[in-house]
Amino acid sequence: MATSAETAHPQPGAETTSGADTPFLTPARLRLFGIGAAVLVVAAAAIWFVMESGKRKEAFAAQALEQARATAEQGNMADAVQQFERVVESYGGTGAAYEATIGMAQARLVAGQTELAISTLEEFVGRNPPATYASPAYGLLGTGYENVRRYGDAVTAYQKAADLATVDYLKAILLLDAGRAARANDQPDAARSIYERVIAEYGETAARSEAEVRLAELTAKPA
């Protein structure tokens, strides 16, 4: 039979059934809070490290991209292509890598390597890059198709580029390119529709004047 002293003072480690008599910050709970705080600190440190690593990667990628562009501006397209390729391989997933792919294709177009440029761009847009990069890629792809007289494909590429562009002026310019390719592909009705769209939707841009001239050429009756 327990004494009154034993009842009033439970043995160490014994649990009490009264919630009111149980302190909130028990040793077990303090240990849990300590573990939780440590986990949060580790998680925060990991997030910070990832963010800082990402920033450094973007910075290095941007620097390498600028070096490749400088090489291209000097007219050394072969070296520029190699440098753009290194950016893509070393910094995949960064904005600079996307831009490097476009720069590589552009350098190949300038160097007369049209088929290689087309292959690069087709593979690139096939991976569904962000619209910011997909639009100029489709625009260059249209140029490549025109260079090899694939005018129907050029129309499609230019229209896709226009749809993805976010600036009205660029949309209008790309549609003018699509209209030119449609005329080269002997599609006067398609060209007329494209020029009419430029006038109707982008009449506030400088492209309207050219669209009106091209439309007049299409509608003029032979003398």
Q: What would the pLDDT profile of 92-114 be if each residue is shown by its tens digit?
A: 888 899 999 999 999 999 999 99
Instruction: Give the burial string for 119-148 (b: 16+ CB within 10 Å, else e).
Output: ebbeebbeeebeeebbbbbbbbbbbbbbee
The sign of the CA dihedral 113, 119, 125, 130 is negative
Strands (E), 40-145: none
Q: What would the pLDDT profile of 34-55 be if each residue is shown by its tens digit?
A: 665 555 555 555 554 445 555 6
Full residue range of the structural domain in which residue 68 is found? 48-112
Are 198 and 146 members of one domain? yes
Please state the rounded mean pLDDT for residues 195-209.
95
pLDDT (0 to 100) of residue 109: 94
Are 101 and 131 members of one domain? no
Are 194 and 91 members of one domain? no
CB-based contact 203:175 (threshold 8 Å):
no
Could you tell me the CATH number of the domain that includes residue 209?
1.25.40.10
**pLDDT class for 169, splitting at 50, 70, 90?**
very high
**pLDDT class for 29, splitting at 50, 70, 90?**
low
The pTM score is 0.73
